[in-house]
Structure 1
Amino acid sequence: EVARLRERVRAALRRLRKGRRRGYLYEQPWYVLIGPPGSGKTTALLSSGLNFPADQLDGETTPVGGVGGTRLCDWWFADEAVLIDTAGRYTTQDSDKAVDRAGWEGFLDLLRRTRKRQPINGAVVVVSLTDIAVADPGARAAHARTVRRRVTELSDRLRLRVPVYMVFSKADQLAGFNEYFDDLDAEGRGQVWGMTFPVAGGVDAFTPEYRLLLDRLDDGLYERLQAERAPDRRALLGGFPLQLASLQEPLADFLGQAFGGTRLDPAPFLRGVYITSATQAGTPIDRLTGMLARSFGVDQKRAPSLKPVAGRSYFLKRMLGEVILGEALLVSTSSRRTRRMRLLRIGALGTIAAATLVVSVGLWRAEATNRVAVERADEAIAGFRQQLAGVSLDQVSDDDLPSIVPLLDTARALPREPAGRLSDLFGLSQAEKLEAVERGIYHRALERILLPRLIWRLEQQMRGQIDNPDFLYQATRIYLMLGGAGPLDPALVRDWMALDWQARFPGVLNQQMREHLAAHLDALLADPLPAVTLDGTLVETARASFSRVSLAARVYGRIRPEASAAAVPGWNPAAELGSAGAQLFTRISGKPLTEGIPGFYTAAGFQTVLLPRLAGAAKAVADESWVLGRTDAVPTDEAALRTLERDVVALYAADFQAQWDSMLGDLALAPFADRPSAIQALYVLSSPQSPMRDLLVSIAQQLTVMPAPPPAGGSDAAAEQQRKALAAMIGAATPDNAMPAVDALDRHFRPLKDFVGDGDAAPIAGVTRLINTLQQELAQLGPDAANVPAALQGSGDPVQLLLAESQRQPAPVSRWLQQIAASGQSMIGSSVRHAAATAFSGADGPGQLCKAVVTRRFPFSPSASEDAPLDDFARLFGPDGLFDSYFQAQIRPFVDTSGAVWRLQPVGGVTPPVSQATLAQFQRAAAIRDAFFPAGGNQPQIRFDLAPASAADGSGPATLTLGGTIIATTGDQARQASLTWPGADGMNPARISFDQAVADSGLGQTLGGAPVDGSLGGGSIGASGPWALFRLLQQGRLSPSGRQEEFVLTFRSGASQASFTLRAGSSRNPFARDLLKGFQCPVLQ
């Protein structure tokens, strides 16, 4: 398929190239026509009015598919454009999907390779209007999606934003089309019937534009009806606007799905929508009568006299010739090729211009440049001498380097003519002579301006550090070098000065000045330095000071800063911890984990730097005897040499120990952010690949500067060979005897190395197991655990064991274990608090029910009008009720209930989950339980005796009614009653009635918020509901009688009074006013 397409393209190019000039590919615009089979693409081209060659119209070159359709693609070469009519199966891809898809994509690839800069100028999508009119919504949507895919593939494959022109063909198939437009002449039939959208617009503008088309039809309908005389044609003509209006919704739906856009799928570049008719053939579709026929079951038929007459095309000529071809430049151009061509053109023009310019001015510049160079050099040297006039060159008494940098920069910047210039071709160059003069001026400026100030600075430093032998030694060494009294070491001088300038002139603002000074110093040291008179007295004083430094210290000081020491890789915690472990550790000082121990103070530094360089460093110190002013004899006998080496190693060991002690004291575990992060961190720390183990093993290896001797009878040949090699480095028969400082170092770090050990029996293995135990305990203490306190007895063990273990282990392990234990303890406490709060407010906790029962309910709120339901009261406060169950499960382990006031106590080092104030509410809830549920049942039960008081107490005639029980203060019913609340009737209602009025007041009264009936002392006091007894008691006065569990209950109404004796059945009784009143639900957070 692709091969045949390629042959078609070649044939088309051969025809296009015939008689054309270069650039023939882009002389005419190229357009692609796509659409399903039978949509009328080829017919539309033939009816478009474009000027095609006669051989094409006669079918000699490209077959015209007016009858059989287009098989691959037909190339139509008009004077105005090249139009490529593609096969309809490329659009639908429903005959052989794989072949059709390959052909379509191959066709697009051929276009992109053939016409690289601009493969096409636009695409015309042709769809038959009848396909839209007769299709159901599902078929229409499928058709739209197919068009959308082809248009998207076209843009993506060609890498262009291609304007798309949507053409609905075969409009003559709509009933009334031919009759409505039958009066148009050739000019009228060539006009455009459709809409062209703005460049930034799109399919959203279709509906209003389409309505304008319908309005135009309606505007011309009256005139057409007047002109038409045939009744049948008038009927079709009059219904045509309605026929077209019925297509508005299907067309809008089709266009929306084919050309609509979203944020993720941008809309194609839809330029316009047009309606055409190329030839009139077939039977028109009457959508209106068709819908009516389908609705009423009538067979739709068409009279022969109403059939259209074929032969004329409508609305094609100007649409193709003027609208579509007129916008050939609207398509974008391939940005890559355009950019490449633009760069090539600019480069070619630039090259030509440059060559022309060079040839034009070469000879003139040869002489002029040389003359200008000499003049510029004279001016620059004169300017430098003028600038030099204000600078002291004889006696220097300052080190004001910033003031001399501009002068030295001027000297260095004296113009130098580069070699190989154009003037050299003519033998006129004076560059070498000018350069020699300028170089000499610059070097003399360095010797007379820079060098004296460097020496003066060193003298001031030596005087200021006269009591610092180490500093004084190096300063004197540099001082003598710059004065020509010793061999020059340029690298040492540069390093010294760079450090001094960094300290004196710090920061980014001075960086440029430091760089300029370094460049001038390099130029000064590049040539031999002149002899300078130095301060002999200062030198002798300095020598007397640093001569007190031992030979071992000088040897050690020689080895330490050498480059070989810096070449040893340093040790840092981050490299040993890995990415996961680095998240678990930090440094107390705030330094990063990547900053560690210098390589010199590692086992490798000891073995590969210090030991091998002992002898060489001693000789180098002897070679620097010129600094001391005398010849220092390095010991040559074996005993003295061994002593010197041991002294040097002792100095090293002291620094080694200080470095590692500082590092170990600075390493700490990073704080755990929360319980999940603590669980994860402890899991990593206790895993077989524990970063803590790897870190400590690495530290132990670095602290073992000498391999341990093999055990008796052992055969560790590699370790023994390494020990012998190290011993040979320092000439010792046994390293243990030669380096007692190493033994002391080993003893200092032995506890840590023993802790790491080797194998599962090492102490570190037990510690990781303890950490793992704590991790498992924390993992079990989930935030929604139902019984967190029950696990505290087990969770406290690993914490306490870790604390105990921390006392036995060396630093920094002891500190880490203490931190883990403290964090674990804190996390357990946090989990306990969270679990307690969650359980309290959960479905099985008392929180929600407590709010419903207690808040604004009697008896907890005395003035409340609503009563607390007894069943909810029992479920909340009863034995094994919500309060009781929650307290026993979550809080009881933390409470000491032995005293009158309950007290909180920690469990396993974990603080209680509630406050003392909250605990008081739970104690009060327990008191309510004991008072209302003395028998332990699931319903409240209060036993008490009630009897009338004697008349001596001032009691008048009254009757007390408690449900079905009546107690009177006089008469036959003046008796003692044994009662149980709530009983069978709930003691509801509860009322006391006074028999007669004795008061002298004529006003009604209230007592405790309850109504008082009667105005002269008579009347009643009462209440109803499940808590009627307690409401009635609240309206009376209950006072102790002086006997245990006995109270005097007094009621007043005006001047009337009645008293009763109430004897509680238990010492734990609810008649104390503060037991229920004001009770508040505990708050847990």
Structure 2
Amino acid sequence: MSYLNRIFAARFLKTLLIVCCIGLLIAAIWLLGPFFGFGESRPLLSVESRVIFIVLALFCLVSLWLRWPLFIMLTATLCVAIWVLGPFLLIGETYPLLPVGVRLAVIGAILVIALLYGLWLLILALKDNPQLLDKFARRKDRPAEDDASEVAAAIRNAVDYVNRSRKRLSFFQRAILARKPLDLLPWYIILGTADAGKTSAILASGQHFPVPEQLDRVGKPAQQTKNCECWFANDAIYVDTAGKYISEPEAHPGEWRALLKALKKYRPTKAINGAVVAFSAADVMGRSKAELFELAASLRQRVEDLRQTLGVRFPVYVLVTRLDQLPGFAEYFRILTEQEREQVWGVTFPYGEGGSASPLELHDRIREEFALLEDRIERDMIVRQQEEYDNRDRKKMYALPQDFHLLSGLVAEVVHNIFFASRYDESQSYTQLRGIYFSSSHQPVDFSLLNNQTIIRKWFNYVEQESPTVTASLIEQPAERDFLINDVSYGRQYFLKQLFSEVIVKDRDLARYNLANVSKYRLQRLLGHTFCILLTCVLLNGFWHSYRNNSGYLDAVDHKVVSLGSEVNRLVKTANQNLLPRLLTLSQYLPEYGNLDIFNPQLEWRYGLYTGDDVLAASDSLYQFFLQRLLLPQIEQQAAQALQTAIDGGRTEQIYRQLKHYLQVFGQGELDRQYAIDSTTRLWAESGKLQPYEEERIFVAHLTNLFASPQWRRYGQKMDEDLVKYARAMLEREDLASRLYQRIKDSVAHDVPADLTLNVMAKTRSSELFTLAEEAEETAIPGLFTRAGYYEVFKKKMAPGLMLLEREDAWVLGKVGQGRAAEALRPQVSGKGDVVLVNPVQQQILGLYLDEYARHWRTFLSHIRIKTNVLQLDYGSAGVAEDIYMLRTLSATDSPLANLLVRAAAETTLIGKDGQSLLLDNMRDKGQILNAAAKVSLAYAEMERRLLRERLDNHFAPLREFVTGSRESVVEHPAVGGTELSKLLGALNEQYTLFVIYDDGLKNGTPMALSSTAQKIGAESLAWPDPLPNLVGPLLEGAYRRASRSAIAKSNEGIEEHIGRVCRATLAGRYPFVKSRREAKMSDFERFFAVDGLADDYFKKHLADKVDTSSRPWRYKGAVEDDNGSLAMFEQAAEIREAFFRGEGGRKVALTFDITFPHLDSSITQLNLNFDSTRVSYAHWPVAPVSVTWPMSRISSRVTLTASPRVAAGASTMMFTGPWALFRWLDSASDIIATSSGEAQLVYLLDARRANIEISGLNYKDRPVAELLRRFRCPGDD
């Protein structure tokens, strides 16, 4: 009941509630933490943050349990909050606690503040209680606990000795069967002062000690106990402790605590069944009152330590030893028989719950019981006086009642101070004192205890001038006394045997177990048995469900086997290879069953009944049989067909690849599983045989399983030796270096750096300025053919890769063991003078690589072009602005053109800075020191330099010289001053300046003449190395052309404004340009077409330097097209000017022509023509040309034609007036006949009379001048 009271005590409930709350908090942190947050932040989402908070909760629990100051928990909580929640703290638009360094700094500052606060609290505590500092100091001076291990070993050895027979039992007997009686022997601890006779009391107790060493010590003087000794009696075990634990309690605290810990460790349930507190009569009577209180306090403390540490309620027996030290004791009790001496002489009190009395009641009760003992001695004293004949013995006996009375009073005081109940512990609810007993284990005669309260002793002390403070003094007897029997004292033991056998041993069940440990063990046993029962139920349930699941599984497998058998029969009957994929799939997935994980089945499938492993092994065997028996022959057949096809094609690479695959499939050499799978899959995909498998990964999985088996060639066919020999013979036609070079490239394909693009070379973010020609096959330089690709990949991996490929090539060609290829590839050094020969195959491979390297770069550089339409506008071309942008960019400090050329020069220079023969120098200087390996390395380096120079660097020497100014090979190529590259950049900068000025002139309407420097530079670039001819020339020519076009466009705007308007106002739609009654004025005609007229003057000022007039038709210089036809107008005006303006230096119209009359009708006697007062007549005389100049009159022009005789006045005469009368007359002809000489004959009908008039001189380049006028169009007219 008291235990339940303690459980439901307020303090215990508070602790339990705190622990439960901490447990619930930990569970909430772990389970609900990931869902805790604010907004989108989840601080406890990670496992680390939750673990940190759980550790914090446990730390808080420990702090509460140990009653640490509250600021420690607050500091830890604040530090954890800053570390976990700090990164999610948003202040403004930043997260100030996101960096780890900031959080560590804040946490460090908090810890420093907490440390200072703790020091301040410590200073305040020391101020109020300075003894705390003494405690700290005493801890440092704590004495060494040297005997603690001996004490623990004594208890451990005792427990081991007791349980020795139990260890021979089986585990089942120890765990299930009841304990043996030997295990239930009571344990008693003996406490007492030094020289109290504790060991002597045990030896004189009449107990049977089966241990020979202990039995031998019975009846002999007891040795002083060093610390602890266990006495093994048949009825009990006595733990005899040293008196120093009582007499010197503060000198050996470690040993005492070790003793208690050992008892609690090895006997956790009922550590002891009782305690015997022993002190001698001299210890009580020979001490002062203060010393008695000290003795009582020490004993009370030790009893309390036993009760608190061991957690056991046990009876305490107070044993007052060495009663024989009282004068008259031996004489008074020597008449007792042996049976009477074995009796108990003392007081026994009731033990148990409710037995506790108040301190005064306990003392009175003890005194009452002692009074009974005193009365008995007094009552029998007269009889004993009469029985004794020796007066000396009678004198001694006479003082015994008084001495015993004095002793009993002191014992009552000491026992009362040890066992009175306390209201601050459990002693108030029960009593520990079982009894107080007096004994004497032996009766030595060399000491005597004299009562200082008697009259004789007071007189003696007065005479001796002594003032004893103790009740009695222990006086040593004179040495001269003669004793008849020296060892008689060890022959009698008073009041011990029944005390131990009938009281102490039989009270073994009075001690209460350690309820906490008993409850724990009972709970453990209950849980253990419950667990066993539950385990049995779970196993039975598991066996049942496992049996059902596995039975259903086997039934399903049986159905699959039946279906698989039908598929096999179909395949055998039809020989349809398309059924093989389904057959393989069925056999592979034969063990599959629902959601069952074959390799890791669930628990309800196990319990020793799982059959999936057996089914899996059988299905794998069947699956492998199908793979090896059905799929492998198809693979072999396909490999043979592929090899034959490659041989028919004659391509060495294909033959080698298929031969290697063929040999792999037919088990020749070591199997490269991944290569065999990839090559087989590729062949089947090309032949279309993968279609029945639906997906490639399914077929690859079958191949992987096939080649994974060690015996995959069990049913394989034999290799076709003839086919292999023929393929090998075709491969040997090609030299070894060519074969190995291609495979070296394939082997390093995964390690090559990124391809080198124009963007990287020019250091531009995009292809802004440069592009590649449309016919270019490659858009970038492969990474293998760059400087990094050579030094970081090809050069490093060529030598080791070459050795592996050599072995592979020797295996494929069937030369393994012959050593020919190996000898060809093994580095050889043969010195002839200063010449060192290196492996020729390696040299050839390097040469092939460098040739391809140079080929890639030549092709790439030759295809680089300048990009057009860089500045793309929505409304048209950018024109000169684009050229200015290009020139500015290319001539800038970080010029993309310079970057491109420098990078190209660097990438095409693989040789090092020192091009000298390091081999020869080193061999001359150190030839006696270098070994063969060093010579081979130097020889290879020399060969490498030579090949790099001959095969690559010399090919690009012009480019290197253009960039660096030197043809020598260097690693870096800075564009220094004085090089052709720097000059080019300077020229481009000048052109940029000129075009800027020119563009500004165009915008301002005062364009300047274009310089021919751009064209000269473009022409010079044709002699420069690639890619400059395709970059500089097109750039400058395009710029020049676009500038000219801009200037022409500007000029065309002036034509429309200055000439077009005048032309349309004065000439357009007028005769003679069109057939119209409106006629153009001669003055307007002359002003427009004459020399230095409007058309001629504009052309000379604005277009003469831009137009090539030597071509027909006229065209702009620089291949600029005439988009609006303005040049045609100026060309026609020039033709009109040459045809019409022949007078006054080309400023006036003047036409000179000849007139003849090849035919005249006979009815006409005379024909008269009048051209501005110039008369021409013909009257059938000989034909002779007549020269006429027109116009003769600047005022008005008239042309008349009259035929005589006149038939009718209106029909025989024709007259035309106006500035263009001549052309009116020409247009009035009835017909025009072309003559053999190219002249035109005009046919006129005058009154039906025909007159043919031939006019020569009015043609311009075999065209009539009138046609020139008819074809003329003003600017802007369609």
TM-score (norm 1): 0.48
Bigger relative contact order (CA 8 A; separation at least 6): 1
TM-score normalized by structure 2?
A: 0.42
* Structure of greater Rg: 2
